[in-house]
Every structure is written in structure tokens, then in C-alpha cells.
Structure 1
Amino acid sequence: MSTVAVLVSLAMFSGTASGAPKTLVFSAIPDQDQAQLVQRFGKVADYLTRTLGVPVKYVPVNSYAAAITAFRNDQVQLAWFGGLSGVRARLLVPGSEAIAQGLEDTEFVTYFLAHSSTGIKPSDTLPAEISGKTFTFGSKGSTSGRLMPEFYLRESFGKAPDGVFSRVGFSGNHSRTIALVQTGAYQVGATNYKVWEKELAAGKIDTDKVSVIWKTPTYPDYQWSIRGDVDAEWGAGFKERVKQALLAMDDPDLLGAFPRTRFIPASNSDYQPILDTAKKIGLLD
């Protein structure tokens, strides 16, 4: 489905019949296989519908940019963003707020991966041997799959990724990054540690072919962001009700789909380090 088609469908879901409560629409960055996202967020929509007492619908988008555009255009009012996509979205919608994050999102890390044929071993510092290899990021708008790995590459080598590697690609999502390095299509890559751990537990990773060679220092990442005008549409205090519903989510099945232990309060100021880093390497003005 094209981005335009997705956004048109979002507009349709936002509409309501006369007298019926408006549907709260949420989306999420497509950081993994789309089928996995539809399954996991459909259950979240059901939970929020029961808890909030208004219809809630999850609608998938096909890119990080589409998620941000939908949020900006009020085609979704709530979104599960990564650190960078959340910063970008909130800059476009005055009054929008980060309201909840996973407990693990306060100290997130990126894993650098290498194919076994490279002979690169795990290290406490970014291995110099990755220079000259082929390398794939995740999505161009990803915090863990692009922003932070690029920052540490520039810090370590003193130049842009194109000057470090023989070829640089963008896989589109974390699952695909792992798959591309595992097959040897790329020799090295950077991925979200949570996706790595989930797919490793699911038996989808062959550690004889691909391994973690370095992990970054910690940084803040994923969060739920909500538009600032939701109280005007659903009534005073609605934003706080959404926040409390997310914080109260304790079903292991729901939390395991993220995967997160629990959700804790978040604020826009928590993501100032992401904004500063994006500006430092030229991803934001």
C-alpha cells in the first residue's frame, strides 16, 4: 500500500457517524515486520477501547515518515514512536507530549552486528575492523537503527559512514537488518537490541552466522506521544486518561509484544539528548 493510500485510510477511520463518539486512532513506526505489528497493536487497541470507553483503532503505516505525517495531520492522535521520530513529530504539532515510555527505553542501546565471515570479535569499543566493510542501517528515520549508530561511527572514525564503509545501505527495519547481516548480504549492521533479543528467543537468529560485536552507550528511545488537542475533542482530562491507561497496562501478553516490562511516565524533556544528537550530525536543523 502506498503512503498516500495509507493516509487516506487513516482519514476514513477518523470519521464518525452522527452522535457516535469519535474514534481515537493510533499508529506506530514500522520498525519490524508489518504482520507482527498489526497483531500486537490490534490487542493494544482493544485494551484502550475497554479502558477509555471510546473506540480506539490501530492503523499501520509503511514508513517512519508516514507515521510522522499522520500525526502532524491529525489522522492519528496517538503514536508509538522511536526517539527521533517522536522528536520530529512533536516539533510539528505544538502542544504534543511524550506521555509514557517503556522502563527499558530510559537506557536503550544499539547492537552492532557482524557476519561470521568477517572474523570480527565482540569488543568493549567499536571495532576498527569494520572499516571498509559493507554496512546497513535500519530505517533512515530510526533512532536505534540510524541516528545513534551514525553518531558513534562519526565519533570513532571522524568521518561520515560513506567514508568508513565500502557500501552503505538502509534495510528499512530492524528485523531486515538482522536478516541481511545473517545472510551476508551486508557484512556489518546496526539494530535495535530489543528486536535482536526477541528474534533470538524466537529461534530466528543463527549465531553461527551473525553475532553482536559491540553495543552503544545507553540513550532514551521509544515513547508514546499524543497530540495536545485531544482534550478539546474527547473532553477535559482525556490526555491524562490515555496516559494512565498506558501506565496501567499490566497484561504480560500485551507488554511482551513490545517487548517491555512496563510503561512509566515520560516527558518531552527526556528526549532532549536525541534532539541535540540529531542536530549535531545534521539530521535536524
Structure 2
Amino acid sequence: MRWLSALALALAAGSVHAETFHFTAIPDEDEARLVERFERVADYLAEQTGLDVEYVPVKSYPAAVSAFRNNQVQLAWFGGLTGVQARALVPGSQAIAQGVEDAEFRSYFIAGADTGLAADQSQLPEDMEGMSFTFGARTSTSGRLMPEYYLRQRFNASPQAIFSRVGFSGDHSRTIALVAAGSFDVGAVNYKVWDAAVADGRVDSDEVKVIWQTPPYPDYQWTIRGDVDERFGDDTTAQIQQALLSMSDPSLLESFPRSGFIAADNDDYAPIEETGQALDLLRP
């Protein structure tokens, strides 16, 4: 039984992790693409930290927040709003990294070519009133929160008063598909998902086009629970953060897609919290 004694010593010394470290991500694209990209991220984090790391897929934005709140996951790739919601529910949790592009993120308003809506650099087109419109997920920062903020600012009315019909697609890829199919005249999407879809040939930008882009705002970030160091080791948070900031493999970064990650903290997302409070969207 000598091996049992050795294992006990290793556990006491903290060199063997008895638990699996779990993380998730908001489902902003179709599930197959998410599983492929985040299982590779799990392998990377395991290699960099020595932890046993597992990606846990979820079906909705609120499910990602719930998994974080219930300690089913210890780390999450959240949007701006879901991150604010999760940190409010789990005191001590921290935003530790964001994409280089996330400090100044944008939403695109897209429309089918047959709507006749023309791109306008200065403001949302007035002619979109009375058309049908789809957001992404109900608690998406780039697919709902900030688009609704700018719609209300432009028209001084709720989306339901502006449009003939308002929907929620669930994710950005679905929004693009619904507008492309003519199911909705106009939609709001994450600009990175749109740009990647155009580059991959998954959308014909002659049939669906960008008609306006929002001013920049803070968005996606990695958020970690405040009890991680107590549970997994004193330097776990620092190790996870360093691994994210050091991620340089182009194929890993392209899957987000981001050019790299930079340090973040909770204060960076004060504008999102303020906007969420104004629109009564802070509840998951």
C-alpha cells in the first residue's frame, strides 16, 4: 500500500488536484462550433496550469450564469451583461481577462437587401420603423443590451413600439440566418461573429448588409469565482489568468476570434452595469 501513502502525501502537498476545474461559455454561436473551440481551450489550460480542466456546454445565457452561481463551473467566458449578472450573484468573483478587441466592442445592425435600407454612418435609418426586428439572446450584451440602448436613444421608444414584430433568436449565428432567410427584416449582431461569417462564406453580404454600427463599449471577459484559490490552490487564479494572457496560438485565438487577451477587472464593466440597470436587464 506504499502507493496510497505516496498519494496521500501528494494530496497534502497540493501537487495532485483531486477535483476537476470546470469552465463554460455563453452559447453565442451554434453548439458544434462552441464544443470544438472550447475543448481545445480546456486542453490548453490543463497544459499550462496542471489542472484537470473540463469544458461544460450550456444551452442558454441564463444557464451559463446559473452554472457559475451554483459552482458547477469556476470560470466562464461571459458577455458584458452576463458577467455583471454572475459577479453580482457570486461575491468575490473577478473579471480577469478580456480580448484585445473587447475593450472597444461593437454591435452591427444588419438588414436584408430587399428592405431597401441603406447604410448610414451617423445614425440608425429612420425607415426601419414598422419593420420586423430580431435581437439575439435576451441577455446578450452585443445582441440585445447595447442595441436596445441605441434604439431607444434614436427613436425615444421601446423596440416593441418601433417595430411591427420583435423576436429573440437565441444567438448571433441564428440572427444572421433569420435575416438572410427574410424571417426578419433587421437584426442586431456581435460584429466579430458577423465578420467571421462573412470571411468564412457563411453569409452573402450582398443579400444581407450592415446598415449601422454602434459606438464602442466593453464586452466579453473571462470571470473566475472568488473561492477558486481556496479550493484548488493558492495561486490558481493567477495561473489561470497568466495562461489566458499568454495564449498566443493563432488557431486558438482565431476560434474566439480575438487577436489576444489582456488583463481586465470588474470596474471595466461599470458602463454595462449602468446600462443594464437603466433597461432593467440585470436579472439573469
Question: Scaled by the length of structure 2, what TM-score is found?
Answer: 0.93
- Contact 1:107–1:218 under 8 Å retained in 2: yes
Task: Supply the AA of the counterpart residue of 2:227.
Answer: D
**Could you tell me which residue of structure 2 aligns to residue 267 of structure 1?**
265
Is 1:42 aligned to 2:22, yes or no? Answer: no
Between the two proteins, the alignment pairs up a number of residues equal to 267
Alignment of 1:32-181 (within 5 A): 32-124=29-121, 125-181=123-179
Structure 2 CA distance for aligned equivalents of residues 27 and 119 of structure 1: 40
Deviation at 1:234, TM superposition (A): 1.1
Structure 2 CA distance for aligned equivalents of residues 159 and 284 of structure 1: 20
Structure 2 CA distance for aligned equivalents of residues 93 and 59 of structure 1: 19
Structure 2 CA distance for aligned equivalents of residues 282 and 154 of structure 1: 14
Structure 2 CA distance for aligned equivalents of residues 214 and 265 of structure 1: 30
Of 237, 243, 259, the match for 2:241: 243
Structure 1 CA distance for aligned equivalents of residues 224 and 58 of structure 2: 17
**Could you tell me which residue of structure 2 aligns to residue 204 of structure 1?**
202
Deviation at 1:284, TM superposition (A): 2.7
Structure 2 CA distance for aligned equivalents of residues 284 and 214 of structure 1: 26
Q: Please give the secondary structure, in 2, of the residue aligned with 1:190.
A: strand
Structure 1 CA distance for aligned equivalents of residues 51 and 279 of structure 2: 42
- Contact 1:21–1:54 under 8 Å retained in 2: no
Structure 2 CA distance for aligned equivalents of residues 280 and 233 of structure 1: 36
**CA-based RMSD:** 0.9
Deviation at 1:237, TM superposition (A): 1.6
Moved over 4 A (4+): none
State the identity as a percent. Answer: 58
Structure 1 CA distance for aligned equivalents of residues 249 and 225 of structure 2: 26
Q: Please give the secondary structure, in 2, of the residue aligned with 1:242.
A: helix
Structure 2, gaps ≥5 residues long: 1-15
Q: Return 229-238 or 79-88, whichever deviates more.
A: 229-238
- Contact 2:84–2:282 under 8 Å retained in 1: no
Alignment of 1:3-42 (within 5 A): 21-42=18-39
Task: Supply the AA of the counterpart residue of 1:48.
Answer: L
Structure 1 CA distance for aligned equivalents of residues 274 and 187 of structure 2: 24
Q: Please give the secondary structure, in 2, of the residue aligned with 1:195.
A: helix
- Contact 2:17–2:232 under 8 Å retained in 1: no
Structure 2 CA distance for aligned equivalents of residues 233 and 279 of structure 1: 33
Task: Supply the AA of the counterpart residue of 2:278.
Answer: K
For the pair shown, the structure with the greater C-alpha radius of gyration is 2
Deviation at 1:21, TM superposition (A): 2.3
- Contact 1:183–1:209 under 8 Å retained in 2: no
- Show CA shifts across 1:260-285 (max 9, x none): 00000000000000000011112137
Structure 1 CA distance for aligned equivalents of residues 282 and 26 of structure 2: 18
Task: Supply the AA of the counterpart residue of 2:120.
Answer: S
Of 199, 220, 223, the match for 2:221: 223
Structure 1, gaps ≥5 residues long: 1-18
**Could you tell me which residue of structure 2 aligns to residue 13 of structure 1?**
none
